[in-house]
Amino acid sequence: MLEKPAIDDSEIIARVQAAFGVPVRHAAFLPLGADANAAVYCLTTTADQQAYFLKLRRGPFNEISITLPRFLSEQGIHEVIPPIQTAAGTLWTSLSEYRATLFPFVEGQDATDLPLTDAQWRQFGAALKKVHTAVLPPSLAAAIPTETYIPKFRALVTEFMQQLAERPFTEPVAQKLVTFLHDKRDVVAQLVERTEQLAAVVQERQLPNVLCHSDIHAWNLLINQEGALYLVDWDEPILAPKERDLMFIGAGLGGIWHTRRELALFYEGYGRTEVDQDALAYYRCERIIQDIAAYCEQLFLSDEGGADREEALQNVISNFWPGSTIDIAMKSGRETL
């Protein structure tokens, strides 16, 4: 979220003090992320100036998004930051229309601003391998969704594309998206068709499921001032083929992470493994479809969002740049279909 929520800082400070027992002095909103339903703050304390990271999420909330990173951290995966318990022993509290979770604040940059060193690429690979091989207790595993390959987002994008010429859109950013997607309608149709084909192929193979982060792109890789890296934002973990996560390395999201050298370094850390190229292609295509669907919902179904709306528009457009995510996804796995 790029624009500050309509919550007074004093309300945030009071709630965090009451729930977590932290003597907060100051709350600073951080305009980060493309998720319009999530807002983040840096909180500092009155005594020792210790900093905390507060995440607010509205809408659907799955508690696994906080219980899982705590479990992984307790299993010795140091690249995962655990949430802090409330005084009542829970991992979140309510704040207005949001659910609030608190973490230690890690001063650093994400991997879009700070390119990974060779050693960090290897560490990234090794950390993700630890996630993929984690043994979950049955109660935790039962709370994590399992891959289904459902066509929900493909159908949603197809529906939005059909509405472009039928529904009047008066909000300026929505109008820009209508014009852009109309010009790219053939590309979108090809992407949806390709994703459908790949979904059928991959589902039939019944690849083994592992614990996946599901959104481990460069924005969700945090590097601190000492060079240590962390896998952050565990909002939507899933039990799926490992390619669900591996697809990000080489996908070109954000115009980065697509060189052969980076791939080689990552797999030096991850270790030898057989990668299903069709699954890799499916997840790359499906991710783009999901993003287009989410941004269409954001821009077509509401006029709210302010600066987040223009950001959403640019995020859609960037997928269609030459050599960007759509080009890479459509070329992935061709040799095996």
Number of H helices, E strands in the chain: 12, 10
Q: How far apart are CA 331 and CA 316, in angstroms?
A: 19
Average pLDDT taken over every residue of the chain: 94
Residue 54 Cα to chain centre, angstroms: 17
CATH number of 9-105: 3.30.200.20
Predicted local confidence at residue 233, as pLDDT: 93
Neighbours of 298 (CB within 10 A): 25
Decide: 239 and 99 in contact? Cβ < 8 Å: no
Region(s) of the chain under CATH 1.10.510.10: 118-336
- Per residue in 20-50, pLDDT (tens digit) is 999 999 999 999 877 778 899 999 997 667 8
What is the pLDDT at residue 35?
A: 79
Domain 118-336 sits in CATH at 1.10.510.10
Task: Over range 94-115, report the average pLDDT.
Answer: 94
Q: Is the pLDDT of residue 337 over 60?
A: no
CB count in 10 Å sphere of residue 44:
17
Residue-wise pLDDT for 125-142, tens only, equals: 999 999 999 999 999 999
Residue range 145-163: mean pLDDT, rounded: 97
Give me the percent of the chain exceeding a pLDDT of 90: 88
What is the CA 157 to chain-centroid distance, rounded?
19
Q: Distance (Å, rounded) from C-alpha 241 to C-alpha 243?
A: 5
Listed in order, the ranges of the chain carrying CATH 3.30.200.20 are: 9-105
Alpha-carbon dihedral 219, 267, 79, 250, rounded to 10 degrees = 10
